[in-house]
Amino acid sequence: MNGVHDMGGQHGLGVVIPEAEGSAFHAVWEARAHALVIAAPTRGNIDAGRHQREKIPGASYLTMTYYERWFEALCQMLFAGGFVSADELATGNANPGAAKATPRLNAVDVPIAMAWQGSYLRESVAEPAFAVGDRVRAKMMNPIGHTRLPRYARGRTGVVENCHGSHVFPDSHAHGGGEDPCALYTVRFTTRELWGPDASPRDTVSLDLWEPYLERA
Amino acid sequence: MEPSTTTLDSPRALVGGRRICQPVLMHDHDHDDHHGHSHGQEPASDIALRVKSLESLLVEKGLVDPAALDAIVDFYEHKVGPRNGARVVAKAWSDPDYRTRLLADATAAIGELGYTGGQGEHMIAVENTASIHNLVVCTLCSCYPWPVLGLPPAWYKSSAYRSRAVIDPRGVLAEFGTVLDADTEVRVWDSTAEIRYLVIPERPADTAGMDEAQLGALVTRNGMIGTARL
């Protein structure tokens, strides 16, 4: 979707304010919100979570902090998944007689869960269409659902610099369409191709793009 | 819904109730203003109270274990952070064989040091040289290699950084005090998939006699994102 989350290349969004290395969280509530997202029964589909955050209305998205977005998306997913009701979200109180569940993640399992080395690589179902060195163009496309092809790369031509095998395809996975693994490539674009002749002649931007985003150039 | 065999019988968690969130119903999807609707209810309270209320609600319903939340917070506050990445970099500077393994298969080489887990599933190490400078961003959200760098700083998640790092990397770098000459090639990596990038900064001069611990102390978080040179 062409949401405000797709920020690459926009002007007018402020200056970068550096920050010293320090604690992971800036407030206690941020730490609790982070932990809730990881422990909640809605965990498990990173693409659905990202898409939920993208669906926050644009004007709100831009005024919310990162963890405010995480929290908002968590509430919506808990509601959509039937884990909490609108009344419960309105009052903060469990409905009388509501079922008592069993947590999916217990404290004793946290160290293993945190260190668990997952993978988004899947067995390839087809030969990759492109090889390192191939010139490819990011398709001009404007899907209304989740996608990881930023607007600033659409229609632009780059060179395949790495092939990663088949990875879970977010455009399907975010919408309950299964993992639909597709070949994933790193594609390097010159900044002049992306931004025009005023850009530095030497610089490049590399993006990780799935095969359905690409066509031979 | 989770299967259950028991029924909640605890008293209401919050006397008087506290609005956590206004759920978006399916027919509201095209609306752009659900945050402003009153629907005759109290507006949501401030974010700290809302998070606390949701935690209470989920604990009351048996959907989360509060001790698990404590353990998760402890993990992100104490077990991961940029000192992990600094150890990777210092080892790469000190041990040519490790550097070779890191550049060939960063996921495995980082795993050798015990750094695994979410947001580190597929790691790639990119090396700065005298003529190449690497910079990492995630324009679409805020993807970041948690096992080696911990959770991202606020600026990495900011609209300013996400919007500008790809169109004006040299301007962003200058705001960090990193001014590159025109001959240096800037390579920006936009983390659009589950590949996570770790910048291996150039080893500073005059460090020939240092051991890995001393070298690691020189490695900064910003150096491993690419907004600083060491």
What digits encode the pLDDT tens for the residues A80-103? 999 999 999 999 999 988 888 999
The three state secondary structure string of B38-88 is CCCCCCCCCHHHHHHHHHHHHHHCCCCCHHHHHHHHHHHHHHCCHHHHHHH
CB contacts of A71 in chain B (<8 Å) are 21, 47, 50-51, 54
pLDDT tens by residue, B83-118:
999 999 999 999 999 999 999 999 999 999 999 999
At B40, is the pLDDT very low, low, confident or very high (cuts 50, 70, 90)?
Answer: very low
What count of Cα atoms within 13 Å lies in the side-chain half-sphere of residue A183?
18
CB contact set of B213 (below 8 Å; sequence gap of 6+): B90
Please give the Cα distance from A112 to A197 (Å, whole number).
50
Choose among B219, B209, B206: nearest CA to B84. Answer: B219
Catalytic center residues of B: 138, 141-143
* Mean pLDDT for all residues in chain B: 88
Flag whether residue B183 sits within 8 Å of chain A, measured between CB atoms: yes
CB contacts of A84 in chain B (<8 Å) are 57-58, 61
CB contacts of B10 in chain A (<8 Å) are 94
Is residue A161 helix, strand or coil? strand
Residue of B9, B20, B56 for testing the chain A interface, max A β-carbons within 10 Å: B20
CB contact set of B59 (below 8 Å; sequence gap of 6+): B65, B66
Cβ distance A124 to A166 under 8 Å?
Answer: yes
Distances (CA, A) of B137 to A59, A213, B102, B165: 23, 20, 21, 7
Residue of A144, A208, A210, A211 for testing the chain B interface, max B β-carbons within 10 Å: A208
With both helix axes pointing from N to C terminus, report the angle between A66-80 and A46-54 in degrees, rounded to the nearest 10: 110
Flag whether residue B4 sits within 8 Å of chain A, measured between CB atoms: yes
Task: Look at B24 and A58; give whichever has higher pLDDT.
Answer: A58
- What does DSSP assign to residue A167? E
Choose among A156, A191, A158: nearest CA to B171. Answer: A191
